[in-house]
Structure 1
Amino acid sequence: MGDTKEGRDKQADDAEKHQREQELAEELERGDEAEPPLEDDEESAEEEDTADE
């Protein structure tokens, strides 16, 4: 079978679809995990800035 633009486009579309499916599956696996606390990181950064003064 020869290499055609249509074939390359289909292969690229299939790869993108597979990537989206993989990302969705990973998100569903992590669905029960709690989000990491962002506020703690911000407070720590502010404390470090204040300590330098």
Structure 2
Amino acid sequence: MADTKDGREDQADDAEERQRERELEEALERDDEDEPPADEVDDGDESAADDDEESAEEGDSSDE
């Protein structure tokens, strides 16, 4: 079978469809799992952001 643009596009479309199906199946499998409380998620993100800001500030003062 010859390699054509239409054939490549069909393969790409098929691959994208399989990926969407996998993602849907994974989401349905996780549907019964409990989500972590919002407080725990927010606290973790803020502390990571604070660490980044502190390291950026330290870098600024050492350049002077």
Give me the TM-score of the superposition, normalised by structure 1.
0.73
Letter in 2 for 1:31: D
Give unmatched runs, 5+ long, in structure 2: 51-64
Q: How far is 1:36 from its partner?
A: 2.0
Give unmatched runs, 5+ long, in structure 1: none
1:30-49 correspondence runs (5 A)? 30-43=30-43, 45=46
Aligned residue pair count: 47
Task: Say what the alpha-carbon RMSD is for the aligned residues.
Answer: 1.9
Runs of 4+ in structure 1 off by over 3 angstroms are 43-46
Sequence identity percentage: 57
Q: How far is 1:34 from its partner?
A: 1.0
